Amino acid sequence: NAGVMQNPRHLVRRRGQEARLRCSPMKGHSHVYWYRQLPEEGLKFMVYLQKENIIDESGMPKERFSAEFPKEGPSILRIQQVVRGDSAAYFCASSPVSGTGVTLHFGNGTRLTVT
């Protein structure tokens, strides 16, 4: 049973380009969480999705960032018109159900570098 798969592992974009980060949750998991880890900082929650629904996007910047989790296929975190401050590691985690008593399974992250 494959774990949470994120790709690409590393992504380099020039300022103004778009970045697309993909996350395939563990088999049987329908809850996906995206987190951002800025250099030398802790993880910060961005968005929580279930299949076809955004449940909580309170941690996501209002502009340029969007996320989706379609019925078929991976969850996508999309950053438009990237700026240097978007350089960070982006982690996806999944769980089979919601609630605090549930262990999250994390992917290996995508390291975005904006030049």
Partner 1 sequence: KNEVEQSPQNLTAQEGEFITINCSYSVGISALHWLQQHPGGGIVSLFMLSSGKKKHGRLIATINIQEKHSSLHITASHPRDSAVYICAVSSYNNNDMRFGAGTRLTVKP
Q: Give the footprint of partner 1 on this chain (CB under 8 A).
A: 31, 33, 35, 41-45, 48, 55-56, 58, 89, 91, 93, 95, 98-109, 111
Burial 59-78 (b: 16+ CB within 10 A, else e): ebeeeebebebeeeebbbbe
What is the smallest separation between the CB atom of 81 and partner 1, expressed in angstroms?
26
Q: Which is nearer to partner 1, 18 or 56 (CB)?
A: 56
Residue 84, phi then psi, degrees to nearest 5: -55, -35
- Asked whether 15 and 114 are in contact (CB, 8 A), the reply is yes
| Both structure tokens of 10 | 């590393």
Q: Which is nearer to partner 1, 74 or 109 (CB)?
A: 109
What is the smallest separation between the CB atom of 12 and partner 1, expressed in angstroms?
16
What is the smallest separation between the CB atom of 94 and partner 1, expressed in angstroms?
10
First-to-last C-alpha distance (Å) of the chain: 36
What is the smallest separation between the CB atom of 19 and partner 1, expressed in angstroms?
17
Q: Which is nearer to partner 1, 39 or 72 (CB)?
A: 39
